[in-house]
Structure 1
Amino acid sequence: MKFSVLYLLLLPVAVVPTFVPPSLGPTEQKVHGKSFDRFIQIWLENTDFETANATAEFQKLASQGILLDQYFALTHPSEPNYVAGVAGDFWGMANDGFFAIPSNISTIVDLLDTKDISWASYQENAPADGFTGFSFASVNYLSPGAPPRTFYVRKHNPLIIYDSVATVPSRAARIRNFNDFAADVNASAIPQWLFVTPNLVNDGHDTDMTFTSAWLEFWLEPLLTDRRFNDEHTLILLTFDENETKGTNNRIWAALLGGAIPKHLHGTTDSTFYTHYSALSTVQANWGLGSLGRFDTDKILANVYAPVADAVGFKNTDVPPSAVPLLNQSGTTPGPLNPNPALFAPFPPPDTSAVGAGGGPVFVPSGN
């Protein structure tokens, strides 16, 4: 399958600003990890665990890896989950507004850069690398002749919300679209850490699990057999940003896929308590990184994915179902981005006494 040709056909000509031609991303020497050499996370939208788990495509994918049946989002609505997943806090955020988090607030990018671990984020239907707009409408390929439809939204693009990425040209250039993804796959230039966001129909936000299942069958399944994307040193997290039923705790479907999962673990279930912070702690443990000094070091919220914990000798915290914290609240957490003035609190500095799963020092950016 020629991804560059395929995606240039599938992605329609956009309204102003227009799509730019795909370009190859920077390539770096591979930095070996203790359990994997590439980590890919793919986030879908707003679905209860039970709904996804009853869907044939998700059952099929889980049979090729490890189902994580005690995986939880952190809050509602979508955007605070995304920003927390790359930086270890959602700063009291309680809506999906336009946020630009100050440049002295660190992210996973800062930790990766300390060891020259290559990274990128691929955002379907974004018009160009480093696009900072709130949304982007393209020709509506679902309903030909209809007005342009919004397929891309900033709130699902977590790294661009941080000015430490968005305002640094060399970093912003790594926030790429799916045309660039196709070019990178064809050039065997996929980096070592990836955050992938499908567009608003493919991720299920504006559609349903039937639509998303068809997209996963078309897009992800061929990539799982393509060594340019997935080899024996690749770990893939497929999950959701939050659940749909806000009155229940925020359990979401998640599975670990990829060649780094041993065959004897295919089709198994891991009932360890994990949250979106676990993606941070797992990456830190794998590459012996420092931490951000936030919830990425929390002994309950940031358990390391079990295959990686076993490989590095990290001991997770046992959290029985009766002790799982309530993670479906919105607007109740104090912070600099909470819209309630009574719950405002300034950005806290990193906790330099914290010890993360990677064992390295807490990263303290300039200005803190």
Structure 2
Amino acid sequence: MQSAFLFGTAVLALVRSASAATAQTFQPPASSPFAQSGNYTGKSNNTLQNGPVVPGKLFDRFIQVWFENTNYATAQSSPAFQNLSQYGQLLTGYYGVTHTSEPNYIAAAGGDFFGGYNDDFCASSLSRPSAPLTRPADAIPSNISTVVDLLEEKNISWAEYQENLPYDGYTGYNFTSYDYIAGTGTYTYYVRKHNPLIIFDSISNVTERALRIRNFNDFANDMSADAIPQWVFVTPNLVNDGHDTNVDFMGDWINYWLNPVLADERFNNNRTLILITFDENEVYSVNNNVWGFLIGGALPTNLVNTTDNTFYTHYSSLSTVQANWGLKSLGRQDTNATVNNVFSFVAEATGWKNNDLVGNSTALPLLNLTGGYPGPLNNEYYVQFAAPNMTAVGAGTGGVFVAPSLNTAITAASLSAPVNLTAMNETVPWANNPGYDYPNGTQSYTTSTGAPSPTTTTTTSGAGAAAAPAMILSLVAAGAMIALA
């Protein structure tokens, strides 16, 4: 099995290399990060409205900026990333949680990747590349909670800024627009798989929430109005995040966009903490260490130009936010003591006890495995969504958040054995087009398709039954990577 896994990851790496790092020359999409541009496709319709600032224990604003598919050493070799590291704290023990891209983004928003292992690039309407495709990526049902539920319970404002999103709340799988780099033709700059919140129906199917998923024209407008909210997730487009280019191209974008906004108090004031990192590394056959970095006015001055080798993962962004604002947890991997370490200076100030793992420890869980974790987004080891662990203790010590419509009797322990939907010629229920979108700022339905209830039970026997790999089950039993709950 191990040799098959290594072969499979090698093939995936070759496929990725063939489609990424194309020879393109960086071109600024706008005159500055603070200016609107037709290259961003969608206009800004309004200024974001936020409530009063809710003070945190260490910071009042938390911003994440994610890049794509790069090994730690490659990022660290870049002059732009090296320059950044002088002004903050380098997290040498930071890890993605799986492969491919989309499950990592899902994990950072929902506290688990739910067995996902692909980007679900399964569109059936390729003849209309500039229109919403008929089958977007996973649409996680509305009773599965996210960080947004935790933030809103404490009235903490939030937003996403997705470069080249065609309009606020866009639910399509990707969007192809004018190729501003080549100056002719079209290019797919935006993809849904790098937009964590839109994948959850609890956000994308609620108009006032969906419209807080915005593009970079909105960002320029919100900066001008000093309206950047308290929790922010930023995704550059497919060339600027390095997915289709390389680390040097990312460096040019850092110099053009990131460095100027870091120097602006409307984005980075003395109560702002910013995490800059990557979704995953490029080489699947090694564990998933990625470049991670903390910067911002809220970072203690004694930590500037230092390194921290504590073992962190994408779940650490959730647990750190929970510790800072005293939030509830999601009761999933954000409460798994193996993978939820809080950023050290926040843990020390809030009294949270991290584990003793460091980034080069031989005891780290394997975070480069792909496709072997049972879950509701895994076609070959499918199980339904389970309720969170109601007895879990999170870094915010505020209990576990549960959506009112969730059946808490469906626990990880109560689930049936995984089933192989591929063998049954079926797909996971959550890969359907949810059928709604926001082209005019209000919800409209484009199809009649919809996902079945998340409490539906799937059972089978014979060829459809799937046994989870022994290695995965041993990790689950040990509590190292509980993917089901």
TM-score in same-fold range (> 0.5): yes
Which residue in the other structure is 1:225 paired with?
263
| Structure-2 change in CA distance of 1:299 and 1:6 (3 Å) | closer
Q: Is 1:131 the equivalent of 2:154?
A: no
- Cα distance in 2 for partners of 1:292, 1:334 equals 19
Q: Which runs of 5+ in 1 are unaligned?
A: none
Q: Is 1:122 the equivalent of 2:166?
A: no
Q: Is 1:266 the equivalent of 2:304?
A: yes
For residues 81-117 of structure 1, give each alpha carbon's deviation from its aligned partner in whole angstroms, at most 9, with x where no partner exists: 0001111111111110111000000000000011000
- Cα distance in 2 for partners of 1:265, 1:28 equals 31
For residues 151-192 of structure 1, give each alpha carbon's deviation from its aligned partner in whole angstroms, at most 9, with x where no partner exists: 000000010000000000010010010000111111110000
Q: Quick check: which has more Rg, 1 or 2?
A: 2
> In the TM superposition, what is the alpha-carbon distance from 1:21 to its structure 2 partner?
3.3
- Cα distance in 2 for partners of 1:95, 1:13 equals 27
Match of 1:54 among 71, 77, 84: 77
Q: Is 1:281 the equivalent of 2:314?
A: no
Alignment of 1:90-101 (within 5 A): 90-97=113-120, 98-101=137-140
- 260-269 or 82-91, which moves further after superposition? 260-269
- Cα distance in 2 for partners of 1:284, 1:150 equals 35
Q: Secondary structure of the residue that 1:279 maps to in structure 2?
A: helix
Higher relative contact order structure (alpha carbons within 8 Å, sequence separation ≥ 6): 1
TM-score normalised by length of structure 2: 0.73
Q: Is 1:8 the equivalent of 2:43?
A: no
Q: Secondary structure of the residue that 2:175 maps to in structure 1?
A: strand
Alignment of 1:291-330 (within 5 A): 291-320=329-358, 321-330=361-370
CA contact (8 A) 2:36 2:221 kept: no
- Cα distance in 1 for partners of 2:159, 2:39 equals 23
Alignment of 1:60-209 (within 5 A): 60-97=83-120, 98-145=137-184, 147-209=185-247
- Cα distance in 2 for partners of 1:60, 1:188 equals 27
CA contact (8 A) 1:4 1:183 kept: no
Q: Which amino acid aligns with 2:39?
A: P
- Cα distance in 2 for partners of 1:190, 1:173 equals 14
Aligned length: 359
Q: Which runs of 5+ in 2 are unaligned?
A: 1-29, 121-136, 407-485
Q: Which amino acid aligns with 1:100?
A: A
| Structure-2 change in CA distance of 1:204 and 1:300 (3 Å) | same
Identity of aligned residues (%): 55
Which residue in the other structure is 2:372 paired with?
332
> In the TM superposition, what is the alpha-carbon distance from 1:5 to its structure 2 partner?
8.5
> In the TM superposition, what is the alpha-carbon distance from 1:268 to its structure 2 partner?
0.3
- Cα distance in 2 for partners of 1:288, 1:112 equals 10
TM-score normalised by length of structure 1: 0.95
- Cα distance in 1 for partners of 2:49, 2:252 equals 32
Q: Which amino acid aligns with 1:38?
A: R
